[in-house]
Amino acid sequence: MKTIKNIAASAYASSAGAIFGLIFLAGCSALPTPPSRPALYDFGPGTLAPAPTDRRAPLPPLALDDVDAPGLPEGSNAVLYRLAYSDSQQLRPYSQARWSQPPAQLVQQRLREHLGQRRAILKADDAGAQARDAAQGGQLPLVLRTELEEFSHLFASPTDSAGVVRLRATVVALTPAGESLRGQRVFIARTPARSADAAGGVAALAEASTQVAQELAEWVEQVR
């Protein structure tokens, strides 16, 4: 009799264990899947080979101020797009894409790269470097200030889009009487995107930023 009871109890325990195991597995399968991390983008590795030697005389040093971004959310790393065919006034962020740094900092790096090919680039707040230059009988370097007014992946239609960069550049001279305006210009670049998604948008914006940096560097050479 005891043997029959033990067999029954053992069978009950095994059955209960199996049921519990099924319930546990079912509970695990119902757990939410961890959200995927947004893809992180920048402008690429930049120049990977030394630039050819430029035999022209070097240009005077230039002080580059931090790029201001009045047209973008402050401190945001979001990759932004606009639907010009629907609501062009609304900036929308890609949910699964981020810049590695705020766009203003990425643009500043690209500007420094192109401006520095023929001249020394100083920080605008580097008063020590400016004072040394003046003490040696030279003039204070010109100061370049820039404002990033537009930096977005713009869709003219669901299948036609481009990276749009608009940058306002102002060059001033520092004089004992104050600042003297030497030049101002707005640079606009619109580069077609290869695909209608975040990857296509960031590639187009990187190319447009390079175009703006090249055009600005050429313009600054003419400013006196």
Q: How confident is the model at residue 205 (pLDDT cuts 50, 70, 90)?
A: very high
Residue that the structure tokens 């669901």 belong to: 158
User: What global pTM score does this model have?
Assistant: 0.80
Most distant pair of Cα atoms in the chain: their distance: 114
Percentages helix, strand, coil for the chain (3-state, rounded to 5) are 35, 35, 35
The mean pLDDT value of the chain amounts to 84
What confidence tens digit (pLDDT) does each residue in 24-43 have? 445 555 566 666 789 999 99
3-state secondary structure 77-119: CEEEEEECCCEEEEEEEEEEEEECCCHHHHHHHHHHHHHCCCC
What confidence tens digit (pLDDT) does each residue in 157-182 have? 999 999 999 999 999 998 888 899 99
pLDDT surpassing 80 at residue 5:
no
Q: Please enumerate in sequence order all residues whose Cβ is within 8 A of that of 4, keeping only pairs 6 or more positions apart, or say none.
A: none
What confidence tens digit (pLDDT) does each residue in 69-107 have? 998 998 899 999 999 999 999 999 999 999 999 999 999
pLDDT for the residue 103: 97
pLDDT for the residue 137: 55
Answer with the residue of higher pLDDT: 18 or 117: 117
